[in-house]
């Protein structure tokens, strides 16, 4: 069999191709046969415009069945799919176009002026629109293509996707994920989480990052299971849809919102088999409240753009407990280690840097060999940038299994808000460009809804007068809303240590109350 990820997925389609693969909350079904046809049409359109295996397809589109068909069609054609968060603004997307050098871009109709002009600047690449209802020039042209397509053979090491993840130096970097990376992880999770053909997944996540596009989509497709496809998160609607589902994946914010929904409880979860949480730390209080409210114990796992999934609490009781505050053991075939200085091993319960290796680990960053070299050890382990421990006390004080990982912090200056990664250096770059700003520091503070909230402290230039609310509004208009500071504090100076380094721990203590 070809190493093409789509070919693997297609080999697991159910025998009855007329059955629903995908269904909208309104009840509009899309069969497995239609998925096969629509992805072939997408592949034919892309290839017909001259794209060759390895060329990039950059997409900034709303979640819709048509967006899924675009992704799968790109895989079938041997192209490299590059999804972008829809919240990114013009200044951000221009960088991605320059760096990824795509052969085609597909974007929201309301951003046509951005992309058509940018596409001209970056070589006149093919440009199409696709809206949240599945309409637009891409859909119109794809509908005229042949519904037959022979999947392009791919080797395991051939690129399937590039996921841009912000860097601590302020510029986003593209994690290169191969067909082999994604296939191995999908098959491992298929077995570890006991996916079944009669499962029904409530898909409520966006599809521009690992959690929604790879973990959720690949899991359901590989099982031949149906997805209920929510285009936007809505807690009352999710509570209603869960009554006909068996699997749900969400970020902690979604679980907090479900618990705040009066219609959500044991009755809504009567047919549920598995609740999974990831992309950000789940508060122990949320874990326990959910358990008491529903009778279900949330399964926590750990992954990142560069590795897809790394660890998971056990799905079956025989394989181990689900422990609050931990992210479980390394998945089969994946290795993790916790180390100190010069990669010296930490003992059980000792905190250190988390490193990982396995078939799921990416090959490096797109067009950034120096950054790739920095993030891998000489013996081939990827430095996650997270700090954690194996074993030791769990959230309730009892010992966690010796092979269970607990994440206790991040060595990289990362904020995770509502499941999205925000790197302060990038935001500081935008703030420092604002009129009247001499310097800035961006940091995270605890937030009961989003896990962490982005905050900033700014120092005005001599003679300038700054207003925190005005700066907040200006940032929201300039960059993605989730990255824009929730609060901007105007200060006379930033706290620094003897070496002149900004003490963000002091800012967190000052403004995190």
Sequence-distant contacts of 348-351: CB under 8 A, at least 24 apart: 348/389, 348/390, 348/391, 348/392, 348/402, 349/389, 349/390, 349/391, 349/392, 349/393, 350/389, 350/392, 351/387, 351/388, 351/389, 351/408
Task: Establish if 261 belongs to a structural domain.
Answer: no
Does residue 5 belong to any structural domain of this protein? yes
Please give the Cα distance from 142 to 66 (Å, whole number).
10
- Residue 20 sits in a domain whose CATH number is 3.40.50.12780
How is residue 268 annotated by DSSP?
T
Which pLDDT band, with edges at 50, 70 and 90, does 387 fall under? confident
Q: Is the pLDDT of residue 448 over 90?
A: no
Q: Is 482 helix (H, G, I), strand (E, B) or coil?
A: coil
User: Poorest-confidence range of 97-101, 364-368, 391-395, 458-462?
Assistant: 391-395
**Which of 154, 187, 219 finishes a domain?**
154
Collapsing DSSP states into helix, strand and coil, what is residue 420?
Answer: strand
pLDDT at 1: 55
pLDDT digits (tens, 9 = 90+) for 501-512: 788 889 999 998
Statement: the pTM of the whole predicted model exceeds 0.85: yes
Q: What is the mean pLDDT of the chain?
A: 93
How many angstroms separate the most distant Cα atoms in the chain? 73
171 sits in which H/E element: none
**Measured distance CA(207)–CA(355) in Å, rounded:** 27
The values of phi and psi at residue 286, to 5°, are: -65, -45
End-to-end C-alpha distance for the chain, whole angstroms: 57
Cα gap 427→423, rounded to integer Å: 7
Query: What distances in angstroms separate CA 168 from CA 172, 407, 415, one per listed residue?
Result: 9, 19, 11
Q: Is the predicted pLDDT of residue 169 greater than 50, yes or no?
A: no
Assign 477 to helix, strand or coil. Answer: helix
Percent of residues, the chain, with pLDDT higher than 70: 97
Residue 344 lies inside a defined structural domain of this protein: no
Sign of the torsion angle spanned by Cα atoms 351, 249, 7, 50: negative
Structure tokens at 37: 């046809």
> Which token pair is 494?
């930033």
For residue 497, what pLDDT is reported? Answer: 67
- Any idea what the CATH number is for the domain that residue 473 is in? 3.30.300.30
Q: Considering its fold, how many domains does the chain have in total?
A: 2
**CA dist 1 to 11, 186, 245, Å?**
9, 17, 32
Percent of the chain exceeding pLDDT 90 equals: 78
**Domain end: 122, 137, 154, which one?**
154
Report if residue 276 sits inside a domain. Answer: no
Residue 245 included in any domain: no
pLDDT of residue 167: 46
> Comparing 161-175, 184-198, 309-323, which segment has the lowest mean pLDDT?
161-175
pLDDT at 425: 78
Segment 219-233, tens digit of pLDDT:
999 999 999 999 999
pLDDT value at position 340? 92
Q: Is 165 helix (H, G, I), strand (E, B) or coil?
A: strand
CA distance 412 to 388: 13
pLDDT for 481? 92
Nearest to 360 by CA among 306, 295, 286, 290: 306
CA distances from 65 to 38, 59, 122, 226, 329 (A): 10, 14, 29, 13, 34
Residue 71 within any structural domain of the chain: yes
Q: Is residue 477 included in any domain, yes or no?
A: yes
Tell me which residue of 21, 2, 47 sits closest to 148, measured CA to CA: 47
As a whole number of angstroms, the distance between CA 106 and CA 68 comes to 13
Evaluate whether 215 touches 76 at the Cβ level (below 8 Å). Answer: no
**Reported confidence tier of residue 168, pLDDT bands at 50, 70, 90:** very low
**Whole-number Å distance between alpha carbons of 264 and 262:** 6
Residue of 258, 246, 256 whose CA lies nearest to 219:
246
Which domain range does residue 494 map to? 416-511
Q: Which residue among 116, 136, 154 closes a domain?
A: 154
User: Quick check: is 302 in a domain?
Assistant: no
Joined together, the tokens standing for residue 464 give 């300038």
């Amino acid at each position: 069999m070809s190493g093409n990820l789509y070919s693997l997925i297609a080999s697991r389609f159910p025998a009855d191709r007329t059955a629903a693969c995908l269904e909208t909350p309104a009840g509009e079904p899309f069969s497995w046969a239609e998925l096969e046809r629509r992805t072939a049409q997408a592949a034919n359109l892309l290839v017909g415009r001259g794209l060759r295996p390895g060329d990039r397809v950059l997409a900034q589109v709303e979640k819709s069945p048509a967006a899924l068909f675009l992704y799968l069609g790109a895989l079938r054609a041997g192209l490299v799919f590059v999804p972008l968060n829809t919240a990114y603004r013009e200044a951000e997307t221009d960088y991605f176009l320059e760096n990824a050098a795509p052969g085609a871009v597909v974007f929201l109709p309301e951003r046509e002026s951005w992309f058509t002009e940018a596409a001209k600047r970056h070589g006149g690449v093919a440009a199409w629109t696709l809206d949240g209802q599945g309409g637009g020039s891409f859909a119109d042209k794809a509908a005229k293509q042949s519904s037959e397509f022979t999947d392009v053979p791919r080797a395991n090491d051939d690129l399937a996707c590039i996921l841009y993840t912000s860097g601590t130096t302020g510029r986003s970097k593209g994690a290169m994920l191969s067909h082999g990376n994604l296939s191995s992880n999908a098959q491992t999770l298929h077995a570890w989480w006991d996916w079944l053909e009669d499962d029904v997944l409530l898909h409520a996540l966006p599809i521009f990052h690992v959690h929604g596009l790879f973990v959720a989509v690949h899991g359901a497709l590989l099982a031949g299971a149906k997805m209920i496809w929510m285009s936007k998160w809505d807690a009352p609607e999710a509570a209603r849809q869960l009554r006909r589902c068996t699997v749900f994946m969400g970020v902690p914010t979604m679980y907090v919102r479900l618990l705040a929904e009066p219609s959500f409880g044991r009755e809504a979860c009567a047919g549920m088999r598995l609740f999974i949480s990831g992309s950000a730390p789940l508060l122990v209080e949320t874990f326990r409240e959910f358990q008491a409210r529903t009778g279900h114990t949330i399964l926590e796992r750990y992954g990142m753009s560069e590795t897809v999934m790394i660890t998971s609490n056990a799905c079956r009781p025989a394989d181990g407990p689900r422990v609050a505050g931990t992210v479980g053991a390394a998945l089969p075939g994946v290795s993790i280690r916790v180390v100190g200085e010069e990669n010296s091993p930490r003992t059980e319960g000792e905190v250190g840097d988390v490193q990982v290796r396995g078939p799921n680990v990416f090959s490096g960053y797109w067009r950034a060999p120096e950054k790739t070299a920095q993030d891998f050890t000489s013996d081939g382990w990827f430095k996650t940038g997270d700090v954690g421990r194996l074993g030791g006390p769990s959230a309730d004080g009892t010992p966690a299994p010796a092979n269970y990982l607990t994440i206790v912090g991040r060595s990289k200056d990362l904020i995770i808000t509502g499941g999205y990664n925000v790197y302060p250096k990038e935001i500081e770059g935008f703030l420092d460009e604002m009129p009247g700003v001499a310097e800035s520091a961006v940091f995270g503070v605890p937030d009961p809804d989003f896990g962490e909230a982005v905050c900033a402290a700014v120092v005005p230039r001599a003679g300038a007068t700054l207003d925190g609310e005005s700066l907040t509004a200006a940032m929201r208009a300039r960059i993605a809303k989730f990255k824009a500071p929730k609060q901007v504090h105007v200060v006379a100076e930033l706290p620094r240590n003897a070496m002149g380094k900004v003490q963000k721990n002091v800012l967190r203590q000052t403004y995190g109350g």
